[in-house]
């Protein structure tokens, strides 16, 4: 079902901001990335979203296209970011059908709650491969097109049009450390570092590379996997509430717009300052669970979507 505009984009941005621009998005059928894409499409962009699930990806593309009359949105399912050729083929199709790639969002990710003692090497590798290798493959396949876009859209153009922008969706777990999230913390640290290297090596060619690190975002697939106590988490955020997908979409529009043209190599944390509170009471922890007791008992929050239930054993 299509989202009301007020739920995925603030009224700050002007119509046509991204006219004649194309965005390529991995994980584009996910709750956060689909909202980011929807905002860009509403503001004039065409889009190509990719994902592993064919039906989900194609359905999301059709829904996103309703954000603006005449929008072209391609959904490419069966695409695995861990496989470079799979991503490269999707990039080729995007350019062939939509004409270019001006913006990229590397949003494909994997997550579940599990202690180190219960995590298999394959589980750890799976998250590293999706997040870090997947981001690298996305960068590698799209950068030639981003360089071309940057050359066509040098700062500052009179009409404020931009191009040659890439961002990755990360997290804040690795800033302080967080129990039950070692795999994700390691992966997102790698993503942040990779995007910094892109900024340093491709900034001289006009490309900007940044990261958005969301905090706890309400009503998302990620939140369902990490907690079943949204209200309690929201009460602990210094900003006074859980985030909304609109918060991430607005940050994306800013970084891709002319207003963000001098922001490069930056990690933009969008979390209401929640990471400043520390990580011991993060994903997989209910209000009745106290650190470090839950690590000794092996207790993990009940009812998590797609969670790994392996108990902790220190």
The residue whose two tokens read 């592993």 is 52
Q: Is residue 99 part of a domain?
A: yes
Residue 35 confidence (pLDDT): 97
Q: Is residue 53 part of a domain?
A: yes
Given a contact cutoff of 8 angstroms between Cβ atoms, the answer to whether 128 and 193 are in contact is: no
Identify the CA nearest to 132 among candidates 108, 100, 165.
Answer: 108
Q: Judge whether 312 counts as a catalytic residue.
A: no
Distance of CA 153 to the CA centre of its chain: 24
Q: What CATH number did the domain enclosing 284 receive?
A: 3.40.50.720
* Residue 314 pLDDT class (50, 70, 90 cuts): very low
Q: Which residue has the tokens 């309690």?
A: 232
Mean pLDDT of 7-27: 95
Note whether 39 and 16 are within 8 A (CB): no
The pLDDT value given to residue 307 = 53
Pairwise pLDDT comparison (83 vs 277), residue with the higher score = 83
Please give the structure tokens belonging to residue 155: 């700062």
pLDDT tens-place string over residues 198-250: 999 999 999 999 999 999 999 877 666 666 667 777 888 889 899 999 999 99
Token output for 277: 């509170």
CA gap 84, 112 in Å, rounded: 24
Structural domains counted in the chain = 1
In a domain, 2, yes or no: no
pLDDT at 312 over 50: no
Residue 230 vs residue 86, higher pLDDT: 86
pLDDT digits (tens, 9 = 90+) for 256-301: 999 999 999 999 999 999 999 887 667 877 777 777 888 888 888 8
Q: Does the pLDDT value for residue 159 go beyond 90?
A: no
pTM equals 0.91
Beta bridge partners of 267: 211
H helix intervals, 43-81: 54-64
Residue 229, pLDDT score? 63
Mean pLDDT computed over every residue of the chain: 91
Is 9 within a domain?
no
Q: Considering only residues 21 and 291, tell me which one the structure prediction assigns the higher pLDDT.
A: 21
Known catalytic residue at 188:
yes
Question: Does residue 303 belong to any structural domain of this protein?
Answer: no
Question: What residues make up the domain containing 70?
Answer: 15-297
> Is residue 155 in some structural domain?
yes
Whether residue 6 lies inside any domain: the answer is: no
Checking if the pLDDT of 100 tops 70, the result is: yes
Model pLDDT for residues 166-205, shown as the tens digit of each residue:
999 999 999 999 999 999 999 999 999 999 999 999 999 9
- Of residues 170, 209, 227, 257, which has the active-site annotation? 170
Catalytic residue among 34, 188, 261, 312: 188
């Amino acid at each position: 079902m299509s989202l009301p505009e007020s739920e995925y984009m603030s009224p700050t941005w002007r119509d046509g901001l991204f006219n004649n621009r194309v965005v390529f998005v991995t994980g584009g059928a996910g709750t956060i990335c689909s909202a980011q894409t929807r905002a860009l499409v509403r503001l004039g962009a065409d889009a190509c979203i990719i994902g592993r699930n064919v039906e989900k990806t194609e359905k999301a593309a059709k829904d996103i296209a309703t954000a603006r009359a005449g929008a072209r949105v391609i959904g490419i399912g069966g695409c695995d970011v861990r496989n470079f050729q799979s991503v490269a083929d999707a990039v080729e199709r995007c350019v062939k059908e939509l004409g270019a790639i001006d913006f990229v969002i590397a949003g494909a990710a994997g997550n579940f709650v599990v202690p180190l003692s219960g995590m298999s090497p394959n589980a750890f590798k799976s998250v590293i491969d999706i997040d870090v290798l997947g981001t690298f493959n996305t960068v590698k396949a799209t950068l030639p097109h981003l360089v071309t876009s940057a050359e066509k859209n040098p700062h500052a153009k009179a009409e404020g049009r931009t191009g040659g922008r890439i961002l990755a969706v990360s997290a804040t777990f690795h800033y302080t450390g967080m129990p039950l999230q070692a795999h994700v913390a390691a992966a997102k640290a790698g993503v942040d570092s990779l995007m910094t290297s892109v900024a340093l090596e491709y900034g001289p060619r006009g490309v900007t590379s940044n990261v958005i690190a969301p905090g706890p975002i309400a009503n998302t697939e990620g939140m369902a996997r990490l907690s079943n106590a949204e209200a309690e988490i929201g009460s602990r955020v210094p900003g006074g509430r859980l985030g909304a997908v609109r918060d991430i979409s607005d940050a994306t529009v800013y970084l891709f717009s002319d207003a963000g043209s001098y922001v490069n190599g930056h990690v933009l944390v969008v979390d209401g300052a929640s990471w400043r509170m520390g990580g011991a009471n993060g994903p997989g922890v209910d209000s009745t669970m106290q650190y470090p007791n839950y690590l000794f008992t092996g207790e993990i929050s009940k009812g998590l979507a797609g969670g790994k239930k392996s108990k902790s054993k220190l």
